[in-house]
Structure 1
Amino acid sequence: MLKIAFSPIYKHPLPEGHRFPMEKYELLPGQLLHEGIVNESNFFEPKPIDEKWILNTHTQEYWNKLKNLTLTKSEIRATGFPLSSDLVHREIAILNGSVQAAAFALEYGIAMNIAGGTHHAFADRGEGFCLLNDIAVTANYLLDNHLVKKVLVIDLDVHQGNGTASIFAGNPHVFTFSMHGERNYPMRKEVSDLDFALPDGTEDRDYLRILEDQLEVILKDFTPDFIIYQCGVDVLESDKLGRLAMTIEGVNKRDAVVLSLAKSLQAPIMCCMGGGYSAKVSKIVDAHTQVYRLAQELYF
């Protein structure tokens, strides 16, 4: 069964006019149900996990400041979010969703989180709409519980996974791969195990060719037994922040490449949704919906 993490707290409201599109977290589950891709039994609400798993990735100082709402004004500004206890609870729920989805992936081969992909969060700070790095916490949870030995992070959001790259720098058990816009946020990139920076205007054909080539390079030296897939849809031509030129069909082919790879390797995969900032939220939802449809077609 395809298990999907979702909690009402994912829809935590932001001040009117804020550019981060929270609507997709409410609309996406409804779209999946409407199309008959899943039913209510596919969804699970994340349960709390011990904060030691947060501290296994994030520093004690940062975690204390976050949960006590004592970040400085500049630290709050870097996250892009107005800080509140509701926001922190939302970020914890999202993180728990990814960890628990990964556990379901071990059982079923694949699992999803309606949110997640908070790859800009560093061990000691938040950035770019990311306060806690669910990708990193999930990978460390799997490794430290001896559930897996090697994790491949495939980050195909249009923005580099700088926080994830920093956290796992020099870690031989986690391979970080980020394929992102060359001229996009963050302006100062970190160094992943493999980075590929795409020029503005990259279209489907070149994107898919490069992706397949880079995955082939990775597998020459690193064979994962678990994959975390950050499948942001801000690579779409319609995206306000993306600068690339992919079609929704191209995004579907991209997701098929990654999911098919995971299945061929018999490596469980946890998918988190990442970014998407098209003017019409329906485009974001339609693009995200595809990966759930693919999961059902390929695995169940």
Structure 2
Amino acid sequence: MQAFHSDNFSLTLPPGHTFPASKYRMLRDQLPGVVGPWRVQEAQAATDGELALAHTPDYVEAVLQGHLTAAQQREIGFPWSPMMAERSRRSVGASIAAARAALAEGVAANLAGGTHHAYADRGSGYCVFNDVAVAARLMQAEWHRRHRQRLRVLVIDLDVHQGNGTAAIFRDDSTVFTLSLHGAKNFPFRKEPSDLDVDLPDGCTDAPYLRALDEALEAVWARLAGTPPGLAFYLAGADPHEGDRLGRLKLTTAGMRERDRRVFEALRVRRLPVALSMAGGYGRDLQTTVDVQLNTLREAAASWQQWQAETQSSP
């Protein structure tokens, strides 16, 4: 199974900053202990033209050339630096590479990504470029060029924060279906309408969360029965976990892993390739967040192995 990283490009953050920049290297360093035949590669940077598939040229230029205003930097939550711009390009590149690998092999991962608060013309909430939006549109273009057919995309966003940027980018695009399960009272406080939004109350625990997930997935399959997607993106945020500083939900480690198992199983039985991204996670103990995301990668590897076995056994 292929996984792509961008953690060689670090952010320069002030002391006490809440963004867990060290999480990504921790995750990659501990990945070899996870069951699964991993092939980990550094991601290439997304090109200006690829970024412009989901972002305005003016915004792309402002990020890459260091022209972001102070207000724009505050909304993103990071000070600009050349490394910040390069890291953002590489994170998008990792989702592009994961999407290509998923279409070839069934399951692949970006060891970062899930930057779903970025809009077409601005960043927000620790998100500079929207990696899933760029990768989705690029895969659609590449698919059409090769097959002369439309590639429909499903975004399953289980970060605890609503995917407002992704929802806004695809608002009028019937070829991309966006699903978001999130804390009703959490950031962003002004939500954008996804194709299907599920608002969860503070303190939501395993059983009601998993019930809501099952119902949401059934609704997705029903609504897409006539136009089935050919590629999924799964934003597997660790922040619904009970130990998260920003999540406000109460899922246990076992509940989080069951969440992931159900998503991967639902996609695998439909032979729907999936590009995984890790999205948010802000544990009071950062190792707890990494453990939750390692479990996500365990379930991804198990799904990939089943996908390969089923492919080999097919006539």
TMscore range, shorter length: over 0.9
Quick one: which of 56, 74, 80 aligns to 1:77?
74
Q: Equivalents in 2 of 1:16, 1:38: separation in Å? A: 37
User: For 1:167-182, what aligned pairs fall within 5 Å after superposition?
Assistant: 167-182=169-184
Q: Tell me which residue corresponds to 1:263.
A: 268
What's the C-alpha RMSD, in Å, of the aligned pairs? 1.3
- C-alpha contact 1:10 1:115 (8 A) present in aligned 2: no
2:20 match: secondary structure: coil
Q: Equivalents in 1 of 2:213, 2:169: separation in Å? A: 23
Q: Tell me which residue corresponds to 1:225.
A: 230
* TM-score, with structure 2 as normaliser: 0.91
Q: Deviations over 1:12-37 (max 9, x none)?
A: 34232211011111111121113454
- C-alpha contact 2:10 2:83 (8 A) present in aligned 1: no
1:16 match: secondary structure: coil
- C-alpha contact 1:10 1:25 (8 A) present in aligned 2: no
Q: Tell me which residue corresponds to 1:237.
A: 242
- C-alpha contact 1:117 1:230 (8 A) present in aligned 2: yes
Q: CA deviation at 1:51?
A: 1.7
Q: Tell me which residue corresponds to 1:58.
A: 55
Q: Tell me which residue corresponds to 2:216.
A: 214
- C-alpha contact 2:34 2:294 (8 A) present in aligned 1: no
Quick one: which of 268, 271, 277 aligns to 1:272?
277
Q: CA deviation at 1:97?
A: 0.4
2:117 is matched by which residue type in structure 1? H
Which structure 2 segments of 5+ residues have no match?
Answer: 145-149, 306-315
Q: Tell me which residue corresponds to 1:23.
A: 22
Query: In the superposition, relative to structure 1, how do residues 26 and 154 fare at CA in structure 2: closer, same or farther (>3 Å)?
Result: same
After alignment, is 78-87 or 47-56 more displaced? Answer: 47-56
Q: Which runs of 4+ in 1 moved over 6 A?
A: none
- C-alpha contact 1:28 1:114 (8 A) present in aligned 2: yes
- C-alpha contact 1:12 1:22 (8 A) present in aligned 2: yes
Is structure 2 residue 300 aligned with structure 1 residue 295? yes
- C-alpha contact 2:46 2:92 (8 A) present in aligned 1: no
User: For 1:1-300, what aligned pairs fall within 5 Å after superposition?
Assistant: 2-35=1-34, 37-38=36-37, 42-146=39-143, 149-222=151-224, 223-300=228-305
2:198 is matched by which residue type in structure 1? F
Q: Deviations over 1:173-202 (max 9, x none)?
A: 000111100000000000100101100000
Q: Deviations over 1:33-67 (max 9, x none)?
A: 1345455xx10111234321111110011111111
Query: In the superposition, relative to structure 1, how do residues 8 and 218 fare at CA in structure 2: closer, same or farther (>3 Å)?
Result: closer
After alignment, is 165-174 or 144-153 more displaced? Answer: 144-153
- C-alpha contact 2:4 2:110 (8 A) present in aligned 1: yes
Q: Tell me which residue corresponds to 2:313.
A: none
2:121 match: secondary structure: coil
1:79 is matched by which residue type in structure 2? I
Q: Deviations over 1:241-263 (max 9, x none)?
A: 11000001000000011111111
After alignment, is 142-151 or 216-225 more displaced? Answer: 142-151
Identity of aligned pairs, percent?
39
- C-alpha contact 2:35 2:298 (8 A) present in aligned 1: no
1:284 is matched by which residue type in structure 2? T
Aligned residues: 297
Q: Equivalents in 1 of 2:263, 2:35: separation in Å? A: 23
* TM-score, with structure 1 as normaliser: 0.96
Which structure 1 segments of 5+ residues have no match?
Answer: none
2:120 is matched by which residue type in structure 1? A
Q: CA deviation at 1:11?
A: 3.9
Q: Deviations over 1:57-111 (max 9, x none)?
A: 1001111111111111111100011111110100000000000111011111000
2:177 match: secondary structure: strand
- C-alpha contact 2:113 2:277 (8 A) present in aligned 1: yes
